Amino acid sequence: MSNDKKLSESQKIHQNKIFKDNEKAKKGEKLLKLALKIFMKKFKEKYCNVSINLNYKKELSQAFIVNETQKYFGSNHSYIENKKSHIEPDGGTFFYDLDTQKNMTINSGLLFASEYKKQGDGKDQSMGNAIERAHKNFNEYVLASLNMPYCLYFIFCSGTDFKTGSSIKDRLTAITLKRPFNKTYYEKLKGHCSASVYVKENSWTTKEMSDIIFDGVCKVIDSYLIKDKFNEGFKFDEFN
């Protein structure tokens, strides 16, 4: 077999592998979006007596991120090349609007974002691509969270790259501030943000993810957002 033909066969195998991996990654994203629907149903029931509105956004624009960065650091931190640029976490980004009638104001801000990263499916799998994208999105989200007292960002990881002893796991500890996986972190530590990275070799179920997200979001809301509860009812924007 000629070298050209060998290369062609190798490319076909590689392309088929990428296709299969992409399909599995898309399945994980679909499971995450279903988990978010379950989360919001539980959320609606828990906060039925609080006037709070959740807004889902598929993308987080560079214009928004730059605006938050500028407000925190000053006018010199406002560079943007293309205002249409954005990040797009797999599970999107959620904002909140909280109606505080006592002060006749509406407090608004970021609440959380989430991702699902499937990586690794046996031999000859290139390692690290999904994790690099997760780093990029999280770093941008940190800038968007500069003016918030908390930072809540979930990353669910599954696949053979995350088996015990895998060096890929060490690529993730930079965004947990070298703290253990499978715990929710939302408080800023000496001003630094930490992602909540949940890792296992097998796929995460919708119940597991919805429970984890629900618990973390409730802690943020109860700790930072709700001081007075009003019998106003829950306002809800549908997540598609």
pLDDT in tens, 196-205: 999 999 999 9
Which tokens belong to 173? Answer: 């500890």
Which of 103 and 76 is assigned the larger pLDDT? 76
Q: Is the pLDDT of residue 133 over 90?
A: no
Q: Is the pLDDT of residue 18 over 70?
A: no
Q: Are strands 153-158 and 196-199 parallel, antiparallel or unpaired?
A: parallel
| 195 CB burial (10 A radius; 0-12, 13-18, 19+) | buried
CA distance 210 to 231: 26
Q: Is the pLDDT of residue 24 over 70?
A: no
Which of 102 and 19 is assigned the larger pLDDT? 102
Ramachandran quadrant class, 76 (left: phi over 0; alpha: psi -120 to 50; beta: rest): alpha
Over residues 24-44, mean pLDDT: 91
- CATH T-level fold of 3-236: ECO RI Endonuclease; Chain A (3.40.580)
Over residues 76-102, mean pLDDT: 89
Q: Is the pLDDT of residue 45 over 90?
A: yes
CA distance 68 to 60: 12
Q: Is the pLDDT of residue 48 over 50?
A: yes
